[in-house]
A and B are shown apart, each in its own frame.
Chain A
Amino acid sequence: EAQVTQNPRYLITVTGKKLTVTCSQNMNHEYMSWYRQDPGLGLRQIYYSMNVEVTDKGDVPEGYKVSRKEKRNFPLILESPSPNQTSLYFCASSNWAGGGQPQHFGDGTRLSIL
């Protein structure tokens, strides 16, 4: 089954404790992206990647890191999480690094930073 898989689905942690949210897709998609969703603000892009070893900042990249060493994986790293990073996070992928392609979303990761 074609899917985007995120782990963990839920995480409660404390300020400053490094964490990684994994994202993996099995559709051989070139493009992958991370979004955060907060009430009233919609989906805001954190980072995106057009292919292996090619990443770029989205609209809200501060406090986050990403890497794209393999085509299927695009982990999101919070080196020193803070409470303002409490949010619902989605990973997405699409077929091609050009425009006009639908994005496929993972089920989301709900992070709570205390």
Chain B
Amino acid sequence: QQPVQSPQAVILREGEDAVINCSSSKALYSVHWYRQKHGEAPVFLMILLKGGEQKGHDKISASFNEKKQQSSLYLTASQLSYSGTYFCGTEVSYNQGGKLIFGQGTELSVKP
């Protein structure tokens, strides 16, 4: 079943923060985050494995709450380059050979 992302869209001014959420009804092994610019391929951001870990890259970080089957992506002090559609992808099992189910996406627009 497809994970649910919220919000569906968000508009920010440069320098503002945003949070994108991803919720699943199934127990998860991992959560992936990708960003897609218009007309381009999705690009990998980070993976979180079960265990409640948190990861960060520059001013983008994410957390994974294994008990709630939820992940959140945090964008701090947003830059124009952060604009795009963000997708979470979920894996329910280590043994399913990497089968990813993606959410419907969150469109992020950063304005000057």
Contact = CB atoms under 8 A, between A and B. Distances in A.
B97 A48 contact: yes
Nearest to B105: A42
B98 A50 contact: yes
Most central of A45, A56, A102 by chain B CB within 10 Å: A102
Interface in B80-112: 87, 89, 91, 93-105
Contacts, number: 77
Contacts of A59: 101
A44 interface: yes
Contact of A50 (B29, B32, B97, B103): B97
A90 B42 contact: yes
Interface residues of B, number: 28
Nearest to B93: A99
Given A90-B41, A100-B47, A42 B102 contact: yes
B3 to A, nearest CB: 9
Contacts of B87: 42-43
Contacts of A40: 104
Contacts of B98: 31, 33, 48, 50, 94, 96-99, 101, 103
19 contacts: A45-B101, A48-B97, A48-B98, A56-B99, A90-B42, A94-B98, A96-B98, A97-B97, A98-B97, A100-B91, A100-B94, A101-B47, A102-B32, A102-B47, A103-B32, A103-B89, A103-B100, A105-B43, A107-B41
Q: Which 3 A-B pairs have the closest CB atoms?
A: A50-B97, A105-B41, A102-B44
